[in-house]
Amino acid sequence: CVNQHCCKINGRVETFCSTVVARGDRVEFIVQKQSSPSIKKLDLKSILFEDNSLLIFNKPSGINCDERGILALFKNYLPSAILVHRLDRDTTGALIIAKNKDVFHKFVDQFKEFSVKKTYLAIVDGILKKDHGIVENYLGKKQEYAGQTIWGSVEKSKGLYACTDWERLEQGN
């Protein structure tokens, strides 16, 4: 968002990701619906880590985790790229890409064993009633839309157990 000049702090367009926001600052985001992926070519600066087995990529918002989205970016740089997991189109974050099938299957096993810990950071509009909590439910396929699977809460017999511990780190006005 900063690169696209859609963030204002105290009425001024912010252009630095490292800006520290202080208590009382007014932060505004100009949200624009994107109809197509926001990037057309691979930005090597977005590679967070790479070795002989895997690559970790900082996925921007607005691009799908599929063959026409993220994998299309890697077709020339890393033709053997295999997505280990997915992030929603509008979610940014570290995306793990295996460089071969053996590494991919090792990660799949870790996901099956629930030994993978995921951490998310969110900015929430509104005031939370609690400082922390646990969300437990069962997730399953709800529907498909435009080739993407839509997951959501389902009854126990039709879903996979999901547990999310959350805590509020800070609260503004």
- By annotation, the residues acting in catalysis are 88
d(CA 65, CA 81): 12
Give the contacts of 69 (CB within 8 A, at least 6 positions apart): 37, 63, 89
DSSP 9: E
- Dihedral over Cα of 161, 167, 169, 173: its sign: positive
- Dihedral over Cα of 85, 87, 89, 93: its sign: negative
* Nearest by Cα to 95 from 62, 46, 41: 46
d(CA 85, CA 111): 9
